[in-house]
Structure 1
């Protein structure tokens, strides 16, 4: 059971975990989180990881009906050259909590997964990203806006909407979308979301591609390079 403060934070979409000095020596490789018996997640740590060199971290979120394993595949094969760690988690139900009604269980689980990761691995606080595909992209946008004092970058692949209930920090945002997407049509999704984000003064890189509801490898690679190379805006932990 979480404390009342943790429960209140989850209900407002607030993540409390932050990068810290690791207290446990984490090893490279693919590791199950072992935080839940049924729906859990994975942490992928490149072989190049060294505890004396804080690594970039990407929290990766799956689409509706998907799972952490499927989300991890989008980035796992391309993060080794840049040394980024990928944390992929399962939603508590078939999709993310706010889409089912309100924030709560998924926020709490993500916070737990982040806390475990931060306790075992040295993470660069200037390179903490949240990414997702489809419903996961919608959730990533929402999380990033609400927790921009943690996340420096947001990588949203074919999002449908965003539903932040608070605002903190000033993360950089990457959005991609296929012009032939029939699951989340581009005209009523990204082509509406991106102007809203720019209108709110977020730094947004938007890329359309000829294709359906998917994440082409070239798009994923471009987003990852952007994440590594773009200098983040200094987060203001007091902004809300």
Structure 2
């Protein structure tokens, strides 16, 4: 009889990557040049997209947004809005790919995908100056559900969570008090609007700072709503 498989070191939902002060950061290579968008492929074949802004004239660290896709790799248009915003505001944008068609928690628990997000975050933080006060996680559909789950468990890392058309949240524990933004279309045929509304109401009832935006539309990221959410995020 085969012994039971060892639990994943990420089964508790905890991320370990943290920004590294410039004085403690040692040179790492390869480091994609600043001022461009790069496709990263790691030795095990895992992939992520990384936008790196030009160096800031004031020398201050950059904000970082982690953006998670929905089932089948779909972003519902959120990736286009997020990239345009990152280019405009000089922010870092990290878009990792799930191992399968969606994120690991939908297949039984936190593991390979959370491990990869942690690795991609550490890789980024080893090479670029990240503002520890302004790290956000966002997502669309399944990615929104995953962003809520991961963000609530890692509130010491993430200052904000942006959830576009989420279906659920499944945090194993809570840490910190990240601010939460939830948006949902009132004609969503995939994940009914009542789900997003209920999530926002529950978190507000638990004492989180929550903003909820309901829009006329289906299962997508409404560009105007997303741009306003990112504008308010940058204004903090």
Normalised to the residue count of structure 1, the TM-score between the two structures is 0.87
Instruction: Measure, in 1, the Cα distance between the counterparts of 2:108 and 2:78.
Output: 23
1:142-181 → structure 2 map (5 Å cutoff): 142-181=149-188
Contact 1:71-1:88 at 8 Å conserved across structures: no
Please name the residue that 1:91 is paired with. 98
CA 1:95/1:209 → structure 2, altered by over 3 Å: closer, same or farther? same
1:201 to 198, 207, 219: 207
Query: Does residue 23 of the first structure (1) align with residue 23 of the second (2)?
Result: no
Match of 2:118 among 111, 114, 118: 111
Q: Offset of 1:46 from its aligned partner?
A: 2.5
RMSD: 2.1
Distance (whole Å) between structure 1 residues aligned to residue 116 and residue 179 of structure 2:
24
Give me the whole-angstrom Cα distance separating, in 1, the residues matched to 2:49 and 2:225. 23
TM-score (norm 2): 0.88
Residue of structure 2 in register with 1:185 after alignment: 192
- Which of residues 216, 223, 226 is equivalent to 1:220? 226
1:35: Cα distance to partner? 1.4
Determine the C-alpha separation between the residues in 2 that align with 1:183 and 1:158: 9
For the residue of structure 1 that corresponds to 2:73, the secondary structure is: coil
Structure 1 residues 12 and 50: CA distance shift in structure 2, 3 A: farther
Structure 1: distance between partners of 2:34 and 2:42: 18
Per the alignment, in what secondary structure is the counterpart of residue 112 of structure 1? helix
- The gaps in structure 1 that reach 5 residues or longer are 1-5, 231-240
Structure 1: distance between partners of 2:42 and 2:159: 25
Q: How many correspondences in the alignment? A: 223
- For 1:233, the equivalent position in structure 2 comes to none
Structure 2 segments unaligned to the other structure (5+ residues)? 1-6
- Does the CA-based 8 Å contact 1:14-1:147 persist in structure 2? yes
**TM-superposed deviation, 1:67:** 6.0
Q: Is the deviation greater in 27-36 or in 161-170?
A: 27-36
Q: Is the Cα contact below 8 Å between 1:52 and 1:122 reproduced in 2?
A: no
Change over 3 Å in CA distance of 1:84–1:219 after alignment to 2: same
